[in-house]
Amino acid sequence: MFKCFLTCVLPMDRELIIESSALTKMYGPHLALDSLDIRIEKGATGLLGPNGAGKSTFLKTILGLIQVTSGEGSVLGYDIRTQGEQIRQRIGYMPEYDALNPNMEAIYQVKYCGELIGMNPNVALQRAHQALEYVGLGEQRYREVSTFSTGMKQATKLACALIHDPELIIADEPSNGLDAKSREFMLNTLNITVQSGERSVLMASHLMEDVERLCDNIVLLHKGRLAAQGKIEDLKAIDKEVEIHVWGAASKMEESLKDSGLKVRREGRVMRIGHTGDETYSQILKSAAEVGSQVRKMHDYEASLEDLFLVIMERLGHDVKSSDELLEGSI
């Protein structure tokens, strides 16, 4: 039976923007969301999980676009079951799919998005100019969307999400398919939006580096269930490791460490050993002496979000070697 095993408890004084209790959604016999208890605080949060994990369904439920089967939830204090319209007026949504009209000029595409949520046409036009300037498309505002690059289309979708100055921006794969320069600009813009505008961002992404750079918190879904949630730094601290660089008899060294009860991850001459206490260091040196291996370097390893994912998948019983397998495969 799957269990939610990695959860960092949020202090009660933290402001929550999204909260759910036993949130469940079924499509016929298929269980898409399985009793989710999620608490997302103000700031930037990454929503992660492999294909079929329930990310899209979760986003649709918090947007009030689909009815939940059971359970409850709130976004910005509004009930997702009965106040979907109020929620959508306060959220800016940047979808992964191409939701733009290729035959419209960017300025009128963004203006139209403002009108869809009830803005006065004149106000929407003024705000569209400001939003496109903010995302770096001020000089291209009168070009048709069909002439835009992928990066420019993504920036236009972000402008659409920002036109009504929302409290929360939901960005679904915002940097997907972008070149290095466009990706950098997108992440910087989202970061500035959070830091200077008192806004929050919920970003669904398969790019570990982007999530770790922008977000302080993560929510990881797996097969419709909650696998982990909390601050990235707190979650990474759950499994500490010692990294060593060895010379000679690396395989014997690995075997000796495992026989002593230590967890070992190895890539060539580099090994990362689960930190179980001060005795970990002495056991490493003892094993090296026994097998005739030289320890050239030894230090506490600073885990990445990628490392955290590998630990989570291992605990879920999956043998994966990278986040690509986790997020793009059918695990």
Check residue 1 and give its pLDDT.
30
Residue 100 lies in a domain: yes
- First-to-last CA distance in the chain? 16
SS3 of residue 153 by DSSP: helix
Looking at the structure, tell me whether residues 263 and 227 fall in a common domain: no
Q: Pairing mode, if any, of strands 225-231 and 6-7?
A: parallel
Looking at the structure, tell me whether residues 14 and 68 fall in a common domain: yes
Tally the domains of the chain. 2
Looking at the structure, tell me whether residues 215 and 320 fall in a common domain: no
Looking at the structure, tell me whether residues 18 and 117 fall in a common domain: yes
User: pTM for the complete prediction?
Assistant: 0.80
The CATH number covering residue 272 comes to 3.30.70.980
- For residue 101, what are the domain limits? 6-235
Looking at the structure, tell me whether residues 168 and 265 fall in a common domain: no
SS3 of residue 124 by DSSP: helix
Looking at the structure, tell me whether residues 118 and 258 fall in a common domain: no
CA-to-CA distance for 132 and 113, rounded, in angstroms? Answer: 13
CB 43 within 8 A of CB 200: yes
Check residue 243 and give its pLDDT.
93
Looking at the structure, tell me whether residues 63 and 81 fall in a common domain: yes
Looking at the structure, tell me whether residues 207 and 245 fall in a common domain: no
Check residue 330 and give its pLDDT.
43
Looking at the structure, tell me whether residues 184 and 322 fall in a common domain: no
Looking at the structure, tell me whether residues 188 and 205 fall in a common domain: yes
CA-to-CA distance for 209 and 305, rounded, in angstroms? Answer: 8
DSSP structure class, residue 206: S
Check residue 302 and give its pLDDT.
79
Last residue of a domain, one of 235, 259, 278: 235
CA-to-CA distance for 242 and 244, rounded, in angstroms? Answer: 7
Strand order in the sheet with 6-7: 6-7, 225-231, 217-222, 44-48, 200-204, 168-172, 91-94
Looking at the structure, tell me whether residues 252 and 218 fall in a common domain: no
Looking at the structure, tell me whether residues 177 and 254 fall in a common domain: no
CA-to-CA distance for 103 and 286, rounded, in angstroms? Answer: 70
Check residue 309 and give its pLDDT.
74
Residue 1 lies in a domain: no
Which of 173, 193, 180 lies closest to 46, judged by CA? 173
Contacts of 100 (CB under 8 A, 6+ apart): 109, 145, 153, 156, 157, 160
Q: 64-71 long-range contacts, Cβ below 8 Å, gap at least 24?
A: 64/88, 66/25, 68/23, 68/24, 68/25, 68/33, 69/24, 69/25, 69/26, 70/22, 70/24, 71/20, 71/21, 71/22, 71/23, 71/24, 71/35, 71/36
If you count them, how many residues does the chain have?
331
Check residue 171 and give its pLDDT.
94
Kindly give the confidence (pLDDT) of every residue in the chain, 331 residues in length, as a single tens digit, with 9 standing for 90 and above: 333 445 554 454 568 999 999 999 999 999 999 999 999 999 999 999 877 889 989 999 998 889 999 999 999 999 999 998 899 899 999 998 889 999 999 999 999 999 999 999 999 999 999 999 999 999 999 999 999 999 999 999 999 999 999 999 999 999 988 999 999 999 999 999 998 868 999 999 888 889 999 999 999 998 899 988 989 888 877 778 899 999 999 999 999 999 999 989 898 999 999 888 889 999 999 999 999 999 999 998 877 787 777 777 677 765 555 555 545 554 4
Radius of gyration over alpha carbons of the chain, in Å?
23
Q: Alpha helix (H) ranges present in 215-318?
A: 232-236, 250-259, 279-291, 305-315
Last residue of a domain, one of 235, 251, 269: 235
Segment (H or E) for 264? strand 264-267
Residue 179 lies in a domain: yes
Check residue 162 and give its pLDDT.
95
CA-to-CA distance for 153 and 159, rounded, in angstroms? Answer: 10
Which of 69, 79, 75 lies closest to 24, judged by CA? 69
The CATH number covering residue 82 comes to 3.40.50.300
Residue 59 lies in a domain: yes
